[in-house]
Amino acid sequence: DTANPILGEWVANREIEGRQMDAHYLFYPAGKAVLLLPFLIQKGHFTIQGTTMRLELPNVPPTEGRFRIESDVLTTANPSGGVDRFARY
Sequence-ordered list of residues with C-beta below 8 angstroms from that of 22, at least 6 positions apart, any chain = 11, 12, 13, 14, 37, 38
Would you call 18 helix, strand, or coil by DSSP? coil
- Residue 46, pLDDT score: 94
φ, ψ of residue 30 to 5 degrees: the values are 70, 20
Res. 2: pLDDT tops 80: no
Residue 22 and residue 59: Cα distance in Å, rounded? 20
- pLDDT, mean of residues 20-42: 89
The band of 7, judged by pLDDT with boundaries at 50, 70 and 90, is very high
**Whether pTM exceeds 0.95:** no
Long-range contacts of 50-55 (CB under 8 A, 24+ apart): 53/6, 53/77
Question: Quick one: the chain helix, strand, coil %, rounded to 5?
Answer: 5, 65, 30
pLDDT of residue 79: 72
